[in-house]
């Protein structure tokens, strides 16, 4: 079942990149879109990323798949507004960085017969907006999707096929697993990149090399967007932060004691683990 009509809520970096990718990699698919910022929609129309602009209340009409690409903090408001307009048989997904709360909201708010299948494409940028969007943002990246035990396979399969066509490696898992995993592999690195930046002074920043710049690149991301994510995934982020503190305690203990074999072991284990990242995909 090919997707012939896609709807996108929010034509920022991710929504805009999805539109461009669909135009490049999926043939005969019409795209309707809504953004609360008229200039974002104008940019998407000008770049021929979308076919038409529609009001939020009509976003799901006739769409095989509707994708929520707004910041996590706006999900509840948007869901409440569009839920009554969605008809049975429609599939809804999202691209947010946290899953427990949206899954709960969707179960509460959506009418029967509307399938919500959460998605999290692990692709992005510290940049924002349609102007930073590009069709290959998703190539070779991982996308997590979270069908429920009751989700019909035809719906889960449609969402899986959609991300696969955009170049992604799709993996299925539970919302709770998702939130725990991303707290460690994504949310904590974000907090660390910001903390590492925060302790710098004008003097130290004058000596920033490629190492520092890469390590903290994501710190330049949108603060309001991250506020939403970190609040929503608070417990898991705090627990990932505890793990990191234990790791740092160990390192500090070895360094204070001048315990060379233990220090070397600590450094080697991490270096070896990092060198193996991505080798399996």
Is residue 239 involved in binding its own copies (CB under 8 A)? no
Stretch that binds its own copies, among 63-71, 104-112, 159-167, 243-251 (CB under 8 A): 243-251
Rule CB under 8 A: choose which of 23, 84, 212, 232 binds its own copies: 212
Tokens 């982020």 sit at which residue? 237
Minimum Å gap between C-beta 142 and its own copies is 5
Stretch that binds its own copies, among 7-15, 74-82, 152-160, 198-206 (CB under 8 A): 198-206
What is d(CA 80, CA 105) in angstroms, rounded to the nearest whole number? 9
Which of 62, 49, 57, 53 shows the shortest CA–CA distance to 19?
A: 49
Minimum Å gap between C-beta 261 and its own copies is 10
Minimum Å gap between C-beta 105 and its own copies is 19
Greatest Cα pair distance, the chain, in angstroms, is 67
CB of 150 or CB of 213, closer to its own copies: 213
CB 58 within 8 A of CB 36: no
CB of 33 or CB of 146, closer to its own copies: 146
Is residue 217 involved in binding its own copies (CB under 8 A)? yes
| Residues in 149-188 at the binding interface with its own copies, rule: CB under 8 A | 171, 181-182, 184-186, 188
| Residues in 67-126 at the binding interface with its own copies, rule: CB under 8 A | 122-124
Rule CB under 8 A: choose which of 27, 38, 149, 277 binds its own copies: 277
Is residue 221 involved in binding its own copies (CB under 8 A)? yes
Beta bridge partners of 91: 65, 115
Minimum Å gap between C-beta 252 and its own copies is 6
Stretch that binds its own copies, among 13-21, 40-48, 78-86, 236-244 (CB under 8 A): 236-244
H helical segments located in the chain: 13-25, 38-46, 75-82, 100-109, 153-165, 175-182, 188-198, 202-205, 210-216, 223-232, 234-257, 260-275
Judge residue 17's burial from the number of C-beta atoms within 10 Å of its C-beta, 0-12 exposed, 13-18 middle, 19 or more buried.
buried
104-117 burial code (b ≥16 CB/10 A, e <16) = ebbeebbeeebbbb
Number of residues binding to its own copies, judged by CB under 8 A: 82
- For residue 226, what are the CA distances in angstroms to 73, 192, 258? 9, 13, 38
CB of 117 or CB of 123, closer to its own copies: 123
Tokens of 253: 């203990």
Minimum Å gap between C-beta 160 and its own copies is 16
Residue 97 CA to its chain's centroid (Å): 4
Binding mask 245-274 for its own copies (x = CB under 8 A): x-xx--xx--xx-x-x--xx-xxxxxx-xx
Is residue 132 involved in binding its own copies (CB under 8 A)? no
């Amino acid at each position: 079942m090919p997707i012939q009509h896609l709807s996108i809520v929010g034509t920022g970096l991710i929504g805009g990149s999805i539109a461009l990718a669909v135009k490049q990699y999926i043939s005969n698919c019409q795209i309707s879109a809504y953004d609360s910022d008229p200039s974002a929609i104008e940019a998407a129309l000008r770049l021929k990323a979308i076919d038409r602009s529609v009001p939020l209340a009509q976003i799901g009409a006739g769409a095989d798949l509707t994708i929520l690409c707004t910041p996590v903090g706006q999900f509840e408001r948007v869901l409440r507004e569009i839920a009554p307009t969605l008809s049975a048989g429609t599939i809804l997904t999202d691209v947010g960085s946290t899953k427990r709360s949206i899954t709960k909201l969707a179960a509460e708010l959506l009418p029967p017969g509307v399938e919500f299948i959460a998605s999290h494409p692990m692709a992005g940028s510290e940049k924002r907006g349609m102007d930073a969007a590009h069709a290959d943002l998703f190539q070779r990246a991982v996308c997590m999707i979270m069908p429920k035990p009751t989700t019909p396979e035809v719906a889960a399969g449609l969402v899986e096929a959609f991300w696969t066509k955009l170049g992604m490696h799709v993996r299925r898992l539970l919302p709770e697993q998702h939130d725990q995993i991303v707290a460690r592999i994504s949310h904590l690195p974000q907090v660390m990149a910001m903390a590492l930046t925060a302790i710098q002074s004008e003097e130290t920043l004058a000596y920033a090399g490629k190492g520092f710049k890469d390590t903290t690149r994501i710190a330049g991301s949108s603060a309001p967007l991250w506020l939403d994510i970190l609040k929503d995934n608070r417990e898991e982020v705090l627990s990932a932060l505890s793990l990191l503190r234990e790791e740092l305690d160990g390192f500090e203990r070895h360094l204070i004691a001048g315990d060379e074999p233990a220090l070397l072991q600590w450094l080697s284990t991490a270096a070896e683990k990092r060198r193996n990242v991505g080798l399996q995909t």
